[in-house]
């Protein structure tokens, strides 16, 4: 393996492999079928990228996410390695040119989605290439028991028909025994070499805190933590709000979500990597390609949707083998909100059929027809026209895409934008003379900042909601303001593009996939329930719970999670006595200040404060502070 070590140093600047990378690479070089289960931070990519550099031909990489494909292709290019991908929406002629470039341009990697692989043209062109081997990334998507089932993955075996001598490496960070068996069967692997790295991370402390004031807890954590960190939230809006909160409290942070432009993402990522802003507040769009060893803490401000998601995101802390923390903040409302959220966002099979049918009606596609080209799509507009929940429409679109019924490309970075040309004073005068636009202009100025310095992205549907009107009326107002020279309005009509992959057949289409869709919906629900059970189980070591979930039977306690630490603590002193002693020393304190000083559960403190008030031992003043009577 001297040559492999040399390549590792030359292209990745690593001097040695981490277990079991070297053994996996050797098996790939020996043309074995391989399954590699390596938890986040285990170095999966090197396991197929490095042997591909040593083998003649092109490594075909099947990957489920466009963003993941783009990220890996860019990373390889930065290392001086020739890699490319087949993007959605490309024409037949562009595909032919791309394959010629691959064939004669000494490319080492071709990335492709499993849906794209179904094209007969692409299959024929792949057949003409010298394929070294196939790498199936995020291979748990093959299994209906996995946390992100993609039926199109089941059709990857078409490659065995095209090129019978091919061998495969399937890679995943999250799979139990049932999923691994499903991967092996679905890919028709022979004499499979399975490599598994334990999910146990001795340096990572899983800690779950029940807190009412999460923002206060963030301040407390980052006051003590000096290493770079990530705060995961469940909405784009929260990334901005929490980053602003942290910055206003003298913590340097950036935010990251899927709606940012490529440049905005790169700037946020670079500032975090260089530690100009050592805290990153992000949705789960932030994660792919992260290779930062000294992340000391990952905080889940909101509850993740599954144990798999949690482990992947938490595993971005402590890659340097130093002690790190995976902190989850929760309260009673989170549990009920999560259950309610599942009800609101998880569609029934009937709703899948209804939304699917309306999608064809929306584009006026007749039965048995299929549009030749991609069509622009606005999620909010569609949802409003047919009175659907936006979140359910989004979920159904994903289901349709996962089952190769449609192909959807998000174009959120192509939002409409405006910039004001007049001064604030002139705009005020204009509003007085055009009173019907006054409230609308004020709502724009209240909603967005920087409108006089640069083009600012806007959302016509958000403005319509704020002004209790229609998006059509908002567009009319903006056009009028542009005509009058008040602003420039660069309108973008869609936030996504849809390509229909099969002719319209309404219920017949969904009935064909009903088994897979039903199983997917059941799995989503089960994953959520499993995770809620995990965070509510305060009697079993967190590591043991995680290991058991992934079929690693263990009774060895980690000693550093919140459950283990609570067992180590001496018996709690009487909370009432501690509160009274504290108030005697400090005088007047708010409940947050009392919680800061006392090492008790916040909920218990609040209960005992109420008891002390009812017993007339303490009182609460008009500043909402507690004091002894």
Position 72 scores a pLDDT of: 86
Question: If 0-12 CB within 10 Å is exposed, 13-18 middle and 19+ buried, where does residue 162 land?
Answer: middle
Domain ranges in the chain?
2-196, 204-330+537-568, 339-413+496-525, 416-490, 575-628
436 to 414, 419, 426: CA distances (angstroms): 29, 21, 16
Confidence check: pLDDT of 413 > 70? no
Q: Kindly report which listed range (150-154, 418-422, 519-523, 590-594) carries the lowest average pLDDT score.
A: 150-154
What are the tens digits of pLDDT across the range 282-328? 998 887 667 788 999 999 999 998 998 899 899 999 988 899 999 99
Position 494 scores a pLDDT of: 66
Mean pLDDT of 5-33: 92
| Half-sphere CA count of 316, side-chain side, radius 13 A | 23
Position 155 scores a pLDDT of: 81
Q: For all residues of the chain together, what is the average pLDDT?
A: 88
Is domain 2-196 in CATH 3.40.50.300, yes or no? yes
Percentage of residues in the chain with pLDDT exceeding 90?
Answer: 49
Position 175 scores a pLDDT of: 84
Alpha-carbon gap, residue 471 to 463, rounded angstroms: 8
Position 209 scores a pLDDT of: 93
Are 607 and 597 within 8 A, CB to CB?
A: no
Are 531 and 305 within 8 A, CB to CB?
A: yes
Mean pLDDT of 236-247: 94
What are the tens digits of pLDDT across the range 196-214? 988 899 999 999 999 989 9
What are the tens digits of pLDDT across the range 543-563? 999 999 998 888 889 999 999
Is the torsion defined by CA of 25, 31, 37, 41 positive or negative?
Answer: positive
- Tell me if 204-330+537-568 shares its fold with 339-413+496-525: no
Q: Kindly report which listed range (86-100, 332-346, 406-420) carries the lowest average pLDDT score.
A: 406-420
Position 148 scores a pLDDT of: 65
Mean pLDDT of 606-621: 87
Confidence of residue 109 (pLDDT cuts 50, 70, 90): very high
Pick the closest to residue 141 from 117, 114, 161, 169 (CA basis).
Answer: 114
What are the tens digits of pLDDT across the range 159-187? 998 999 999 999 998 888 888 998 999 89
Stretch (H or E) spanning 418 = strand 417-420
Query: Where would I find the H helices in 146-248?
Result: 158-162, 177-186, 214-224, 236-248
Confidence of residue 493 (pLDDT cuts 50, 70, 90): low
Alpha-carbon gap, residue 266 to 472, rounded angstroms: 34
Position 398 scores a pLDDT of: 86
What is the distance of C-alpha 214 from the center of its chain? Answer: 21
pTM of this prediction?
Answer: 0.71
Per-residue tokens: 466: 């704020």
Are 497 and 409 within 8 A, CB to CB?
A: yes
Mean pLDDT of 450-465: 86
Mean pLDDT of 448-452: 89
Alpha-carbon gap, residue 276 to 281, rounded angstroms: 14
Confidence of residue 392 (pLDDT cuts 50, 70, 90): very high
Confidence check: pLDDT of 411 > 70? no
Position 197 scores a pLDDT of: 87
Position 88 scores a pLDDT of: 67
For the segment(s) 339-413+496-525, the CATH number from 3.40.50.11540, 3.40.50.2300, 1.10.3720.10, 1.10.10.10 is 1.10.10.10
- 207 forms beta bridges with 327
Confidence of residue 567 (pLDDT cuts 50, 70, 90): confident
Confidence check: pLDDT of 535 > 80? yes
Percentage of residues in the chain with pLDDT exceeding 70?
Answer: 95
Is domain 204-330+537-568 in CATH 3.20.20.450, yes or no? no
Confidence of residue 238 (pLDDT cuts 50, 70, 90): very high
Topology, domain 575-628: Arc Repressor Mutant, subunit A (1.10.10)
Mean pLDDT of 267-271: 91
Pick the closest to residue 112 from 128, 96, 93, 136 (CA basis).
Answer: 136
Torsion of CA 207, 208, 211, 217, to 10 degrees: 30
């Amino acid at each position: 393996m001297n040559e492999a070590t040399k390549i590792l140093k030359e292209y990745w600047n690593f001097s040695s492999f981490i277990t079991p990378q070297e053994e996996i690479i050797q098996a790939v070089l020996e043309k074995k079928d391989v399954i590699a289960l390596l938890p986040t931070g285990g170095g999966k990519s090197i396991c197929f990228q490095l042997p591909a550099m040593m083998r003649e031909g092109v490594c075909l990489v099947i990957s489920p996410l466009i963003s993941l494909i783009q990220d890996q292709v860019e990373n390889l290019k930065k290392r001086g390695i020739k890699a490319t991908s087949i993007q959605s929406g490309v024409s037949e002629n562009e595909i032919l040119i791309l394959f010629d470039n691959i064939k004669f341009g000494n490319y080492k990697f071709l990335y492709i989605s499993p849906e794209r692989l179904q094209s007969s043209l692409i299959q024929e062109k792949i057949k003409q290439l010298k394929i070294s081997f196939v790498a199936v990334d995020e291979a748990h998507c093959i299994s209906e028991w996995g946390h992100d089932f993609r039926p199109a993955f089941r059709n990857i075996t078409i490659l065995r028909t095209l090129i019978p001598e091919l061998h495969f490496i399937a890679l995943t960070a999250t799979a139990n025994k049932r999923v691994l068996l499903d991967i092996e069967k679905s890919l028709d692997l022979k004499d499979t070499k399975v490599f598994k790295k334990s999910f146990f991370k001795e340096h990572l402390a899983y800690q779950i805190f029940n807190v009412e004031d999460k923002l206060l807890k963030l301040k407390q954590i980052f006051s003590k933590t000096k290493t770079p960190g990530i705060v995961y939230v469940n909405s784009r809006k929260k990334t901005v709000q929490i980053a602003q909160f942290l910055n206003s409290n003298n913590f340097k942070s950036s935010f990251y979500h899927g709606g940012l432009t490529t440049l905005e993402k790169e700037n946020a990522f670079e500032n975090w990597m260089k530690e100009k802003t050592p805290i990153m507040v992000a949705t789960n769009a932030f994660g792919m390609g992260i290779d930062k060893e000294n992340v000391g803490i990952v905080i889940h401000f909101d509850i993740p949707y599954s144990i798999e998601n949690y482990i992947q995101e938490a595993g971005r802390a402590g890659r340097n083998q130093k002690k790190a923390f995976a902190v989850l903040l929760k309260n009673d409302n989170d549990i009920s909100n999560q259950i309610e959220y599942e009800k609101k966002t998880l569609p029934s099979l009937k709703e899948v059929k209804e939304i699917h049918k309306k999608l064809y009606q929306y584009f006026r596609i007749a039965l048995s027809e299929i549009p030749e080209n991609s069509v622009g799509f606005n999620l909010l507009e569609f949802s409003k026209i047919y009175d659907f929940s936006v979140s359910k429409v989004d979920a159904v679109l994903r289901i349709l895409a996962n089952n190769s019924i449609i192909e959807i490309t998000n174009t959120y970075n192509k939002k409409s934008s405006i910039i004001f040309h007049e001064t604030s004073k002139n705009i005020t005068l204009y509003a007085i003379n055009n009173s019907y636009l006054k409230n609308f202009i004020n709502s724009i100025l209240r909603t967005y900042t920087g409108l006089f310095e640069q083009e600012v992205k806007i959302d016509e549907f958000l403005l319509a909601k704020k002004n209790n009107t229609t998006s059509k009326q908002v567009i009319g107002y903006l056009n009028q303001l542009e005509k009058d020279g008040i602003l420039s309005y660069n309108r973008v009509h869609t936030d996504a593009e849809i390509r229909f992959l099969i002719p319209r057949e309404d219920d017949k289409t969904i009935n064909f996939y009903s088994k897979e869709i039903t199983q997917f919906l059941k799995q989503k629900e089960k994953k959520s329930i499993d995770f809620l059970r995990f965070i509510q189980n305060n009697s079993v070591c967190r590591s043991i719970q995680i290991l058991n979930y992934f079929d690693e039977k263990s009774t060895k306690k980690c000693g550093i999670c919140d459950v283990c630490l609570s067992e180590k603590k001496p018996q709690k002193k009487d909370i009432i006595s501690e509160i009274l002693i504290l108030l005697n020393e400090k005088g007047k304190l708010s409940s947050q200040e009392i919680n800061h000083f006392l090492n008790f559960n916040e909920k218990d403190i609040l209960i005992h404060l109420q008891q002390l008030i009812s017993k007339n031992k303490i009182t609460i003043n008009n500043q909402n502070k507690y004091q002894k009577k």
